[in-house]
A and B are shown apart, each in its own frame.
Chain A
Amino acid sequence: MKHVIIGAGPAGVVAAETLRRHNAKCSITLIGNEGKPPYSRMALPYLLIDRIAEPGTYLRQSPGHYDDLKIEYVQANVAAVDPDKKTITLDEGAPLAYDRLLLATGAHPIKPPIKGLDLPGVHTCWTLDDADEIGALAKSGAHVVLMGAGFIGSIILEALVLKGVTLSVVEMEDRMVPRMMDEVAGNMLKSWCTSKGVNILTGTKITEISQGDDGLNVTLDKGNIPAAQLVVVAAGVRSNIDFLKGSGVETKEGVMVDDHLQTNIEGIYAAGDVAQAKDLSTGDFNVLAIQPTAVEHGRIAAMNMGGLDTPHRGSLSMNVLDTLGLISSSFGQWMGEKGSDSATMVDKTNYRYLRLEFQGDCLIGAQSVGLSEHIGMLRGLIQSGTHLGNWKQILMTSPHRISEAYVSTLHKNAS
C-alpha cells in the first residue's frame, strides 16, 4: 500500500506517523514545499521575538524522526491530482502514484484587493521566510501597522509589541477577534491592548497603501496614522485547493469530506486547514483552521486510510490567545444558539470574563478572558456532552464554579 500525503503541516505529519504506527510496512510519502523540515506556523510569533530559534518551530525535534519512521519526506509543489490514474503531478519530475492520498495542503493568507498590498514592506506572517522579513523590519521604535485583529492578527500583535515597535492595529469589524469572541470580550481585549500603548482602530478599513518619503502611507477610511516602516497583513486565510481544479474532487470553501474524512473520491482524504469537515457543535461542514483540528483530522484520516474504520464525530472549534499577558479562550458555540441558556460573568475592571452557553444541562460553548487554570475542562464538558444536572443551576448564577462542576460530574460518572 502506497500512501501519499500532500502537505507537511501538523495534519500531514500526524497522518504519516499514525499510518506508520498501525502498519510497519506500507509506503509513506510526505510532500512539503518550503524546503524546510516540517514546522509549525503557531510557533512563528515566538521565533519573531527570539524566544526560539528556527529549529524550535519544527514539528518534531528528533533529527532522524522521518527517516526512522521510514517516512519519505520530499520537496515539491503539487500541480494536479488525477484520480483515474491514481497519480499526482509534481512541478518537476515524473508523476507520483498513490493507493491512498491525503490532501493536507493547508491554507494561505488572504491579501484583500487593496491597492499597495504588493509593496515592499507589506508582509503576511505565514511562513518562516515571512517571519525573517518581518523580523528585519520590526525594529524597536519603528511604526508598524497590523491589518486585522482576528485570531492570527492578535497572536502576531503580541510579538510585534515585544519587538518594541509602535503598533497600530486596523480591524474592519467592530471589535477584536470577532470570530472567536463576543463584543464584551473583544472590547475587553481592545481596552487591555490600548492600556498597553497599542493603537487599536476597530470599525476601520485600510483603503490604500502607498510608498511615501517616511515609509508606507496607510490610508484609512477614517482618521490618520503615521507612516509605517512595516505593514503586516492578517486578514484571514483560505484553503489551498486551486491545484484540485478539474480533478473531480469536490470543493467548496475547502475540500468536502464525509464523516470518515474521505472526499467524494474513494481513496482520497483531506485533513486540516484544507478540509471542510464536520463541526461537532453544529453538524455543519466547514473549515476549522486550527491546530488541534489539524491533528485530529490527520490522525483520523490516517486510521481510515490504513483500513481502520474510524468515524469522525466532528471537531470542536476552540482557540486560545495571549494578548500581551491577557489570556482568552473560546470553545464551540460560544455565541450560543437558538434556545440556549447563557451564564455570564463580567469584571471589566480586572479584565475577567466568562460566558457559558448551555443547551439543557449540557455545555455547548464557552469563552473566557483572564482565566488560565483548568480551561481545558470547558472543552471536556462540551465535547463529552456531559449532563451537568443540578450544577447547571449553580453555574447559571456562578459560572466561575465550572471546574468544581466538572470534577464533581466527572467523579460521579467515573465511580
Chain B
Amino acid sequence: MAWTRKILRVNLTEGTCVSEPLNMDWALKYLGQRGLGTKYLMEEIDPKVDPLSPDNKMIFATGPLTGTCASTAGRYSVITKGALTGAIACSNSGGYFGAELKFAGWDMIIFEGKSEKPVYLCIIDDKAELLSAEGLWGKSVWDTDAAIKATHQEPMMHIAAIGVAGEKGNMYACIVNDLHRAAGRSGVGAVMGSKNLKAVAVRGTGGVSVEDFGAFMKSTEAGKKALAENAVTGEGLPAYGTQVLMNVINESGALPTRNFRDVQFESANDISAEAMAEPRRSDGKPNLLTNQACFSCTIACGRISQIDKDHFSVVNKPEYWGAEGGLEYEAAWALGAATGVKDLEALTYANYICNEQGYDPISFGSTLAAAMDMYEEGVLTKKDTGGVELKFGSAEMLTKMADLTGTMEGFGEQLGLGSKRLCEKYGRPELSMTVKGQEFPAYDPRGIQGMGLTYATSNRGACHLRSYTVSSEILGIPEKTDPLSTDGKAGLVKAFQDATAAVDSAGLCIFTTFAWTLEDIAPQVDAACEGNWTPDTLMEAGERIWNMERNFNLAAGFSGKDDELPKRLMKDAAKTGPAKGMVSGLDKMLPEYYEVRGWNTKGVPTEETLSRLGV
C-alpha cells in the first residue's frame, strides 16, 4: 500500500525497459523518494564515477504519499551524482508529474547507461517504451511538452523534459515538468542530457491506495486544517508566494546583493511580492495573474504571471504574452538582488527562459553575479562577454544573458559552467559564492547565522532546502532563535536536516513544515504505509538518510575540508542592517555540529553512529 512496489529500470544503452519489484526492506528503512532513491543509487554506482558518464545513473523517485490526497503529496525527486557538484544530487519537484508516475503504477524509474541517439521515455500505465527524440532535440522544454502531447494525442500526459541547456551540458541545467516546475538544482538536467534522454512522458490511469483509509482521511484532513489555519501556509504563501520573503529578508539584513558584496538591496521592494501584486505603471495590470497549486496541494504558493506586452523583453515576442510561471523568491533574488537588477518584468522574462530552456535560476543568477563582479573588477572584459557591458543592475543584459545561457551560445556558454568553474577559469575562485560547487540561494549567512552552517554542510552543495533554519531564525517556526547568534545552531541545523530528509522521502513538500511538525506528518505516513511510523522513527530515518548521503560524498572524494564557506562571508563584514559588522561564525558552529552528528573531528560518521542508524 502507498508504494506501488514497482520500479521501472530503463537501460538507455540497451534500449530496454524492465519492471522489477521494489525492495521493501529498503523502503521500510528509507521510506521513498529522496531516501530510497539515494539508497538505490548508493548500491548501484561507484560514487567516484564521472557524473556525465554513462556509468552514472539517474533515478526519478516518488514518495509513498505521492498521488494521495495528503496535502502537497505530488512530489518526486531526481537522484543522481550531480553534474555541477560531483556530490550526491537530489532535486525535488512538484507539479503533477510525480503523481502521474504513481498513477501509472511506478514508484521509481532508474535510468542507466547512455542512449546512442536522442530518445524519450513514454509511459502509459504499465507500458513503457523508449522512442526517438531526434525530432525533439534542440527544442525547448515547452515546445517538447507540446510536441509529445501532440504526437501521442494525449492532453492528460505529464512530461518532464530538458531544454537546450541540458542538451548542451549547462552544468546547472534542470529537469522541468509541467512547464514550470523543476527538479532544479545540482545539474540533474545535464546528467539527463548526457544520457541523450530528452524527456519522460507519463500518463497513468490507475489508483493509489493506502493501508488504512479511515485513519488516512482523518490525519490528512487534520493536516489540511492546520495548513489552512497557519498564517504562513494559510495566508502568506497563497497570497504572496515565497516572494513574501523579499522585504522580510532584506529588512533582516540577509538579502545577498551584487554577488554578496552587500546584504541589503536598495530596490528589494521593486522586485517583491507586493510589487508583483500592484498594478504596473505601464499598463495598469499587475504582474501577478493568480496563484497555482501543485498536485494535491492546499497551500498553492505557485505564481502565474503575465509580462507587460510592451516591455522590451517581450515586445516583439507574442509567444511570451500569455500567462506563465511567475517569480518565486529564490528566482527573484538570484535574477534580481544578486545581479542588482530591479526591473520586475525583466526578472519575470528571465525566469520564463529558465523554465523554457531548463536551467536553474538560482545558479544562473549567482553565476551571472560572479561574472559581473569579475567584470567590474576588470578580470572580464567586453572581449570575453561578446561586447556586452556586464555591469550590475542592467536589465537588458540580464535578459540577453538569459537567452544566451538557455541556448548555450556566446558568453552564455561560459555562464553555463556555473560560478565555481567560471571563476576558476578566470583566476578568481574566491569570487564564486558556492559550496561544493553549488551556488548559494537567497539568504546571507552573515545575517542568518544558521544558514552558514546549513550551506557548509549541505550534502548537495549550498542549498536552503536541506535545513531551512530561516524558519526558526526569522519566522520563529517552530520557535524563534536569534539569527545573529551561533548558539545552538549546530543542534538546530541537525534537527532541521533530519526532519527535512524525512519529509523529502515521504512525497510531501517542505513548505508544509511552516505549519506541520513530524507530529502532524507521522500519522499521515503511518496510516498510508506499512511499518511503524512515528515522529521518532521518521526522525531516525531522516538521520539515516543524511548519514548515507554524507557517506556517498566521502566516497566520492569530499571531506570535512569541503564544509566551508567562501572567504567573502568569513572575512568581509556585512556593511548595513542588523548584521552590520558581522561575518559568518561557521568556525564556531562546525565542530559542534560534527559532535552532535556523531561524526569525528574530520567530519566522518563514526562506526558507532553508522551502526546505530543501520547504514
Residue ranges of A at the interface with B (Cβ–Cβ < 8 Å): 345, 347, 350, 352, 354, 397-401, 403-404
In Å, the complex CA distance between A400 and B154 comes to 7
Which residues from chain B contact A400 at a C-beta distance below 8 Å? 149-150, 153-155
Whether the pair B150, A397 counts as a contact (CB closer than 8 A) is: yes
Is B612 located at the chain interface by the 8 A CB criterion?
no
In Å, the complex CA distance between A347 and B153 comes to 9
Residue ranges of B at the interface with A (Cβ–Cβ < 8 Å): 124, 149-150, 152-155
In Å, the complex CA distance between A403 and B153 comes to 12
In Å, the complex CA distance between A106 and B577 comes to 88
In Å, the complex CA distance between A127 and B150 comes to 45
Which residues from chain B contact A401 at a C-beta distance below 8 Å? 155
In Å, the complex CA distance between A138 and B154 comes to 39
Which residues from chain B contact A347 at a C-beta distance below 8 Å? 152-153
In the assembled complex, the CB of A325 is this many whole angstroms from the nearest CB of chain B, namely 15
In the assembled complex, the CB of B488 is this many whole angstroms from the nearest CB of chain A, namely 53
In Å, the complex CA distance between A397 and B150 comes to 8
Residue of B nearest to A347 (CB): B153
In Å, the complex CA distance between A350 and B155 comes to 16
Given contacts A397-B150, A398-B150, 6 further A-B contacts (CB under 8 A): A399-B153, A400-B149, A400-B150, A400-B153, A400-B154, A401-B155
In Å, the complex CA distance between A350 and B151 comes to 12
In Å, the complex CA distance between A352 and B153 comes to 9
Whether the pair A354, B150 counts as a contact (CB closer than 8 A) is: no
In Å, the complex CA distance between A352 and B203 comes to 15
Residue of B nearest to A397 (CB): B150
In Å, the complex CA distance between A354 and B153 comes to 9
In Å, the complex CA distance between A350 and B152 comes to 10
In the assembled complex, the CB of B127 is this many whole angstroms from the nearest CB of chain A, namely 9
Which residues from chain A contact B150 at a C-beta distance below 8 Å? 397-398, 400
In Å, the complex CA distance between A399 and B153 comes to 8
The listed residue with most A CB atoms (<10 A of its CB), out of B124, B149, B153, B155, is: B153
A-B complex: 6 closest residue pairs judged by Cβ atoms = A400-B153, A345-B153, A398-B150, A401-B155, A400-B155, A404-B155
The listed residue with most B CB atoms (<10 A of its CB), out of A347, A354, A397, A400, is: A400
In Å, the complex CA distance between A354 and B150 comes to 12
In Å, the complex CA distance between A345 and B124 comes to 18
In the assembled complex, the CB of B144 is this many whole angstroms from the nearest CB of chain A, namely 15
In Å, the complex CA distance between A298 and B99 comes to 47
In Å, the complex CA distance between A347 and B155 comes to 15
Residue of A nearest to B156 (CB): A373
In the assembled complex, the CB of B410 is this many whole angstroms from the nearest CB of chain A, namely 33
Show 20 residue pairs from A and B whose CB-CB distance is below 8 angstroms, ordered by the A residue: A345-B153, A347-B152, A347-B153, A350-B124, A352-B153, A354-B153, A397-B150, A398-B149, A398-B150, A398-B153, A398-B155, A399-B153, A400-B149, A400-B150, A400-B153, A400-B154, A400-B155, A401-B155, A403-B155, A404-B155
In Å, the complex CA distance between A73 and B153 comes to 51
In the assembled complex, the CB of B315 is this many whole angstroms from the nearest CB of chain A, namely 22
In the assembled complex, the CB of B128 is this many whole angstroms from the nearest CB of chain A, namely 14
Residue of A nearest to B157 (CB): A400
In Å, the complex CA distance between A309 and B395 comes to 69
Which residues from chain A contact B152 at a C-beta distance below 8 Å? 347
The listed residue with most B CB atoms (<10 A of its CB), out of A345, A399, A403, is: A345
In the assembled complex, the CB of B206 is this many whole angstroms from the nearest CB of chain A, namely 15
In Å, the complex CA distance between A397 and B124 comes to 22
In the assembled complex, the CB of B87 is this many whole angstroms from the nearest CB of chain A, namely 42
Which residues from chain B contact A399 at a C-beta distance below 8 Å? 153
In the assembled complex, the CB of A146 is this many whole angstroms from the nearest CB of chain B, namely 32
In the assembled complex, the CB of A369 is this many whole angstroms from the nearest CB of chain B, namely 11
Residue of A nearest to B149 (CB): A398
Residue of A nearest to B146 (CB): A398
Residue of B nearest to A352 (CB): B153
Residue of B nearest to A345 (CB): B153
In Å, the complex CA distance between A399 and B149 comes to 11
Which residues from chain B contact A397 at a C-beta distance below 8 Å? 150
In Å, the complex CA distance between A398 and B155 comes to 9
Which residues from chain B contact A354 at a C-beta distance below 8 Å? 153
In the assembled complex, the CB of A351 is this many whole angstroms from the nearest CB of chain B, namely 12
Which residues from chain A contact B153 at a C-beta distance below 8 Å? 345, 347, 352, 354, 398-400
In Å, the complex CA distance between A345 and B149 comes to 12
In Å, the complex CA distance between A354 and B124 comes to 19
In Å, the complex CA distance between A400 and B149 comes to 9
In Å, the complex CA distance between A352 and B155 comes to 14
In Å, the complex CA distance between A397 and B153 comes to 10
In the assembled complex, the CB of B506 is this many whole angstroms from the nearest CB of chain A, namely 31
In the assembled complex, the CB of A226 is this many whole angstroms from the nearest CB of chain B, namely 36
Which residues from chain B contact A350 at a C-beta distance below 8 Å? 124
Residue of B nearest to A401 (CB): B155
In the assembled complex, the CB of A93 is this many whole angstroms from the nearest CB of chain B, namely 58
In the assembled complex, the CB of A104 is this many whole angstroms from the nearest CB of chain B, namely 41
In Å, the complex CA distance between A400 and B150 comes to 8
Which residues from chain B contact A398 at a C-beta distance below 8 Å? 149-150, 153, 155
Which residues from chain A contact B155 at a C-beta distance below 8 Å? 398, 400-401, 403-404
Which residues from chain B contact A345 at a C-beta distance below 8 Å? 153
In Å, the complex CA distance between A398 and B152 comes to 10
In Å, the complex CA distance between A394 and B435 comes to 47
Residue of B nearest to A370 (CB): B153
Residue of A nearest to B152 (CB): A347
Which residues from chain A contact B149 at a C-beta distance below 8 Å? 398, 400
Residue of A nearest to B205 (CB): A373
In Å, the complex CA distance between A401 and B155 comes to 6
Which residues from chain A contact B124 at a C-beta distance below 8 Å? 350
Residue of A nearest to B127 (CB): A350
In Å, the complex CA distance between A397 and B152 comes to 12
In Å, the complex CA distance between A78 and B149 comes to 58
Residue of A nearest to B124 (CB): A350
In Å, the complex CA distance between A397 and B155 comes to 13
In the assembled complex, the CB of B157 is this many whole angstroms from the nearest CB of chain A, namely 10
In the assembled complex, the CB of A239 is this many whole angstroms from the nearest CB of chain B, namely 39
In the assembled complex, the CB of B54 is this many whole angstroms from the nearest CB of chain A, namely 29
In the assembled complex, the CB of B179 is this many whole angstroms from the nearest CB of chain A, namely 15
Which residues from chain B contact A352 at a C-beta distance below 8 Å? 153
In Å, the complex CA distance between A347 and B154 comes to 11
Which residues from chain A contact B154 at a C-beta distance below 8 Å? 400
Which residues from chain B contact A403 at a C-beta distance below 8 Å? 155
The listed residue with most A CB atoms (<10 A of its CB), out of B124, B149, B150, is: B150
In Å, the complex CA distance between A403 and B156 comes to 11
In the assembled complex, the CB of A409 is this many whole angstroms from the nearest CB of chain B, namely 16
In the assembled complex, the CB of B350 is this many whole angstroms from the nearest CB of chain A, namely 28
In Å, the complex CA distance between A397 and B147 comes to 10
In Å, the complex CA distance between A401 and B150 comes to 9
In the assembled complex, the CB of A30 is this many whole angstroms from the nearest CB of chain B, namely 44
Residue of B nearest to A399 (CB): B153
In Å, the complex CA distance between A347 and B152 comes to 8
In the assembled complex, the CB of A356 is this many whole angstroms from the nearest CB of chain B, namely 12
In Å, the complex CA distance between A352 and B150 comes to 13
In Å, the complex CA distance between A236 and B152 comes to 36
In Å, the complex CA distance between A404 and B146 comes to 14
In the assembled complex, the CB of A167 is this many whole angstroms from the nearest CB of chain B, namely 28
In Å, the complex CA distance between A107 and B142 comes to 54
In the assembled complex, the CB of B197 is this many whole angstroms from the nearest CB of chain A, namely 22
In Å, the complex CA distance between A38 and B155 comes to 43
Residue of B nearest to A353 (CB): B153
Residue of B nearest to A350 (CB): B124
In the assembled complex, the CB of B400 is this many whole angstroms from the nearest CB of chain A, namely 31
In the assembled complex, the CB of B159 is this many whole angstroms from the nearest CB of chain A, namely 14
In the assembled complex, the CB of A389 is this many whole angstroms from the nearest CB of chain B, namely 15
Residue of A nearest to B153 (CB): A400
In Å, the complex CA distance between A350 and B124 comes to 11
In the assembled complex, the CB of A313 is this many whole angstroms from the nearest CB of chain B, namely 31
